[in-house]
Structure 1
Amino acid sequence: MTDETHTNLDRLLRSGGIRLGGVQRRRLAWLVSQYGAPTLDGVSEGRRNGVVILREPPSGAAAELFYRSLTPGCAVVIPISENPGFDFLKSKLTEFGTVGPCGVDGPHEMWWGGIGWSKLLAAADSSTVRPRIVSCYPRGGDATAAFALRHSLERFDLACHIEPIDTQLSDRILCFEKAEFMMRMWAKYREPLLFVEAGVAVREAPLLPSFLGCDVALHKWNRWEMSARTLYLGRTKAAEMMLRAWQQLAASYPAIWEGYLLDQAWSLTSSQTPLDTAWLPRSYHALKGDLGAMRATILHDQQTTTLELGPDPSFAGIARAARRAGRTGAHDALMVMTSKAGTGTAIAVILRDVSACDASAVAATVEAVAGAYAANCGGYGRLELSLCAWQDDVGAAREAAAQARYRILEIAPGQCIANDFFATHGADEALMTTRHLLP
C-alpha cells in the first residue's frame, strides 16, 4: 500500500468512528491491498468490488440486497463482530478469518469474509512463504500412509517432518500426545508449521495459510466444531500462546476430545491477545466421499460418515451459534485485560441485552469499559468482559465467573461508564468487606 492509501484508510476509519488495534489495522490494510479501496456501509446499486466495512448489522431484505451486491472481488469487514446482530449476515457469507480484541486500543473482535475463496486461493499460488509440513503416527503402527504422505509432498518441494511417536493406544494419537509433538516441532524448526494427519493425501501445495500471514489457521467442521486434523501455526507469539494453552488443557483433561480443547484454547487466547485466525476452506479438510473431494488440497482418508467429527454432544448449544459466527459465546470472555495491581482480585463485567440495542451503543459501552479499566483498574488485577444477548446467556456468564471466584458486575448498553468506574466499585467492595469484618 502507498502512503496515500494508508492516509485515506485512516481518514475513512476516523470518519466512521472505527477503532482498530495494530494487528487489526494491518489485516485491514492487507485486505485493501488484495481487494481494492474500502467503503463504509450501504447497499450498492450495482455489483461491487473492494472492501466493505460494516458498522451496523443489516437484517432481512437489507442483508439479502447487500449479499446480492457482492462479487468474488469483494471482501466484507465487520470491525465490531462480537455483536450477535451480525450473525445472520455472516451465515450468508464465507468466513475467512477473525482478529481478536487488541485491548483498549481496539477492544472489539474484527471479522472478515466474502462470497468465496476463489480470489485468495488463486493468489496464494504466488506465496513465497512455505510452511514445513509436520505429522506423526503411533510407533509400531502401519507406516504405509506416512510414506505416501512424504512422497506426495516431494512433488511440491515442501519441507516435512513425519515421525512415529510413543502413544498410549496402538491405533490412535491422543490430544495431549499430538500437542506435545507440536510443541517439539515448534522448538525444533523456525518455519511456519502445518500439521496434517499421517493418512492424508496432499493434492495441491497448501500455501493459503502462509499467504494469508495469519497466526493460526484451522477448519471448523459444520462451521462450529474446530478440527485439529489440519492445523497451521505461524511463527508468532500469539500462535505459540495458543499452542501452549492447547497443550496445557490437553494435559489437564486427557479424556476430552481434541477439537473441544482446541476450541477452548482458541477462545482463551483470542480474548487475551489479538489472535489473527484464518478459518480454512473445506478443500483443506476434505474427506473421502465429499462432493468436492476432486478439488481438495488436503484429502483425509476418513469417510464423511465418520463419528470422530461432530456433532460433539458435550459442546454446549449456547456456544455453537457463536462459533458459527466466528465469535466467542456467552460463557467465554470477549476480552481479558490485566493491570499492574498487586492484588489477585479479578472482576467479570457482563454486558447484557446486546441484541436489543444498536450495535454502535454496544460498541461504545465496550470501549468505555476498556478505557475505564485502563485509566483506573480500581485494584482489580484482571478484567474479563462478556457479551450476553439473552438472559440465559447472562446466567451462563455468571456461573462461569462464580466458578472462577470473580467479582461480578452486570451492566447494560448505554450505561454511563466514567473513568473512575472500577475505582468506585472497588472502593464499595472494600467498604462492604470492612463492615462485614467489624465486630
Structure 2
Amino acid sequence: MKSKGWHEGVWDLTDGTHENLDRLLQSGSIKLGRAQRDRLDWLVGQYGAPTLDGAGEARRSGVIILKEPPSGAAAELFYRSLTPGCAVVIPTSENPGFDFLKSKLTEFGTVGPCGAEGPHELWWGGIGWSKFLTAADASTDRPRIVSCYPRGGDATAAFALRHSLERFDLACHIEPIETEFGDRVLCFEKAEFMVRMWNKYREPLLFVEAGAVLREAPLLPSFLGCDVALHKWNRWEVSARTLYLGRTDRAEMLLRSWQQLAASYPAIWEGYLLDQAWSLTSSQVPLDTVWLPRSYHALKGDLGAMRATILHGEQTTTLDLGPDPGFAGIARAARRAGRTGPRDAFMVMTSKAETGTGIAVILRDVAASDAGAVAATVEAVTCAYAADCGGYGRLELSLCAWQDDVGAAREAAALARYRILEIAPGQRIANDFFASHAANEAVMTARHLFP
C-alpha cells in the first residue's frame, strides 16, 4: 500500500500538508524564501505531485524540481519526457548552467532571491501555455486596462482599443496626455502616467499601447497572481507595450524604479529602461515575474496573429535599443534565461551599518563548476553577510561564467566605488568573512597613510 505524503522523492497529494513538502525540500537542501515557496505551493496545487530531479520514469504530470543542470543528450531526453501536465522548477536558476535546458522549455516566470533566507532565483516553466490559458478564461480576477496617447494627436488608435474592450466587460482608463512630441509618448511620460494610474485605482493595472486591440480577455497575469508580467520579444528584449502590475509593494517598487530611470535618462528607449528597472528590483526583493506569451504581444502580420489576445498595430524594431552598444551582447543570454547578466548584481543585500560603503562580491568560474558548489557558496556569502556585515552597508553579489564576465562586473563595481572581492565556487566562507576583509582593508589603509 502506498504511504501518504513524501516518499522516495515523490509527493503524494493524499496527505496535502505543508510538512511533507518541507521534508522534500530539506532532503535536497533547497532553501526558498516566502515568495518562492508561495509560488511553488501554487504550482503543486495546479500540477500535483512534485519530485526531485525527476525521480521515477513517468512524467505525465506533476512538478519536477531540478537541482543539477542536465546537458547535451540528457537535457534532450529530459525535454522529450515532459508533457503539458508537467511543470519544471529550478530553485537555483541564477546558474547559467541551466540556460541550455531553459532554452528548450517555455518560460513561465521567475521569482527573485529573498536575501539570506532564500538566496537563489527560482525559475518555472514547462511545455506550453495551454494549461494556464484555458484556466485563466474562468478567472474572476480582472485588471483595469490603462493606456495613453499624445494630446492633439490622432485618437483613432485609442478609439479602436476602447471599442475592442467593450465586449469583455473590463474597466479601463484611456486618456490623452501632454507630450513633448505630438506623434509619440516618451518613456518618462508613459512611466509618469502609470504612476498616476497606480495612485488613482486599486485594481491590478494592465497597460496596453494605444495602437493595440484586444482579441481575448487578458486574464492570464491576474490569474497567475504575479507582481509583474511583461513580454520579451525575441525572447530577450523587454517590451513596455504590454505591462501588468499587480497590487503589491514589489510591483510598485519596479514602477518607481522605472519612473526614476526614465526621468534621469529621458532620451533612452523605454524597453531598455524597463529591463534595467526589472534587473534592479528583482535583485533587491523577491519580484514574482511572469514572462507573457507571444499572444500578449502579437504583431499584425504574425503567423499567430489570429490567436492573439493583444494585437499590436506597429512593428517593433531594434534601431534604438539603448545607449550602450555592448548591452545586447552582455544581456542577451541572461535575459533569454530569465536572469540577470554579469554586469548586473544578481542579489543586493543591505545592513543596518551607518556607513555608506558597499562591497561587491564576484563569484567567478560559475559555468565550469558544480552547480551544488555554486549554490552552497552563494548561501555561505549571504549567511556571512547577514551574520556580520563587517560595517559594509550594502552587498552586491554577481555571478560570472567566464573571465570576460568578471571584467564587466569589476568595471561596474568600480564605477559605483565599491570594494571588490573575487571568490571561487567551493571556497570556504566563514561567518566573519566580511569583518575580516574590513579589518584587512583598515590595516592596509593605515600602512598607506603612515608608512
C-alpha distance in 1 between matches for 2:139 and 2:72: 39
Do residues 49 (structure 1) and 69 (structure 2) align? no
**Partner-residue secondary structure (3-state), 1:123:** helix
Do residues 213 (structure 1) and 225 (structure 2) align? yes
Do residues 307 (structure 1) and 295 (structure 2) align? no
Residue by residue over 1:209-247, the C-alpha shift from the partner in whole angstroms, topping out at 9 and shown as x without a partner, is 000000000000100000000000000000000000000
C-alpha distance in 1 between matches for 2:205 and 2:321: 28
In structure 2, what residue type is equivalent to 1:199? G
In the alignment, which residue of structure 2 is the partner of 1:147? Answer: 159
In structure 1, what residue type is equivalent to 2:332? R
In the alignment, which residue of structure 2 is the partner of 1:340? Answer: 352
Per mean C-alpha deviation after superposition, the further-off stretch among 425-434 and 264-273 is 425-434
C-alpha distance in 1 between matches for 2:235 and 2:317: 17
Deviation at 1:154, TM superposition (A): 1.4
In the alignment, which residue of structure 2 is the partner of 1:282? Answer: 294
Deviation at 1:302, TM superposition (A): 1.4
Which of 416, 419, 428 is residue 404 of structure 1 equivalent to?
Answer: 416
Do residues 62 (structure 1) and 74 (structure 2) align? yes
Which of 107, 110, 114 is residue 98 of structure 1 equivalent to?
Answer: 110
Residue by residue over 1:177-200, the C-alpha shift from the partner in whole angstroms, topping out at 9 and shown as x without a partner, is 000000000000000000001111
C-alpha distance in 2 between matches for 1:308 and 1:319: 14
Residue by residue over 1:267-304, the C-alpha shift from the partner in whole angstroms, topping out at 9 and shown as x without a partner, is 0000000000000000000000000000000000014x
In the alignment, which residue of structure 2 is the partner of 1:203? Answer: 215
Do residues 112 (structure 1) and 132 (structure 2) align? no
Which of 134, 159, 178 is residue 166 of structure 1 equivalent to?
Answer: 178
C-alpha distance in 2 between matches for 1:54 and 1:104: 21
Do residues 20 (structure 1) and 23 (structure 2) align? no
Q: Are the aligned partners of 2:114 and 2:286 in contact in 1 as well (CA < 8 Å)?
A: yes
In the alignment, which residue of structure 2 is the partner of 1:40? Answer: 52
Which of 157, 168, 173 is residue 169 of structure 2 equivalent to?
Answer: 157
Q: Are the aligned partners of 1:43 and 1:69 in contact in 2 as well (CA < 8 Å)?
A: no
Residue by residue over 1:96-130, the C-alpha shift from the partner in whole angstroms, topping out at 9 and shown as x without a partner, is 00000000000000000001000011011121211
C-alpha distance in 1 between matches for 2:182 and 2:352: 48
Alpha carbons of structure 1 residues 78 and 413: separation in structure 2 relative to 1, 3 Å: same
In the alignment, which residue of structure 2 is the partner of 1:227? Answer: 239
Residue by residue over 1:310-360, the C-alpha shift from the partner in whole angstroms, topping out at 9 and shown as x without a partner, is 866733302210000000100111110000001111000000001111101
Q: Are the aligned partners of 2:272 and 2:321 in contact in 1 as well (CA < 8 Å)?
A: no
**Partner-residue secondary structure (3-state), 2:61:** strand
Report the TM-score when normalising by structure 2. 0.95
C-alpha distance in 1 between matches for 2:15 and 2:176: 50
C-alpha distance in 2 between matches for 1:38 and 1:309: 44
C-alpha distance in 2 between matches for 1:2 and 1:13: 18
C-alpha distance in 1 between matches for 2:32 and 2:60: 24
Percent sequence identity is 84
Q: Which runs of 5+ in 1 are unaligned?
A: none
Residue by residue over 1:348-374, the C-alpha shift from the partner in whole angstroms, topping out at 9 and shown as x without a partner, is 000000111110100000000000000
In structure 1, what residue type is equivalent to 2:368? A
Deviation at 1:42, TM superposition (A): 3.5
Which of 246, 253, 271 is residue 259 of structure 1 equivalent to?
Answer: 271
C-alpha distance in 2 between matches for 1:226 and 1:44: 37
In the alignment, which residue of structure 2 is the partner of 1:386? Answer: 398
Deviation at 1:173, TM superposition (A): 0.4
C-alpha distance in 1 between matches for 2:102 and 2:361: 26
Residue by residue over 1:55-97, the C-alpha shift from the partner in whole angstroms, topping out at 9 and shown as x without a partner, is 0000011101100111011100000000000000000000000
Q: Are the aligned partners of 2:54 and 2:65 in contact in 1 as well (CA < 8 Å)?
A: no
In structure 2, what residue type is equivalent to 1:280? L
Do residues 292 (structure 1) and 304 (structure 2) align? yes
In the alignment, which residue of structure 2 is the partner of 1:273? Answer: 285
In the alignment, which residue of structure 1 is the partner of 2:328? Answer: 316
CA RMSD of aligned residues (A): 1.4
Per mean C-alpha deviation after superposition, the further-off stretch among 67-76 and 146-155 is 146-155
Do residues 375 (structure 1) and 379 (structure 2) align? no
Report the TM-score when normalising by structure 1. 0.97
Do residues 137 (structure 1) and 149 (structure 2) align? yes
C-alpha distance in 2 between matches for 1:19 and 1:44: 23
In the alignment, which residue of structure 2 is the partner of 1:189? Answer: 201
Do residues 79 (structure 1) and 91 (structure 2) align? yes
Alpha carbons of structure 1 residues 384 and 3: separation in structure 2 relative to 1, 3 Å: farther
**Partner-residue secondary structure (3-state), 1:355:** coil
In structure 2, what residue type is equivalent to 1:272? Q
In structure 2, what residue type is equivalent to 1:261? L
Q: Which runs of 5+ in 2 are unaligned?
A: 1-12
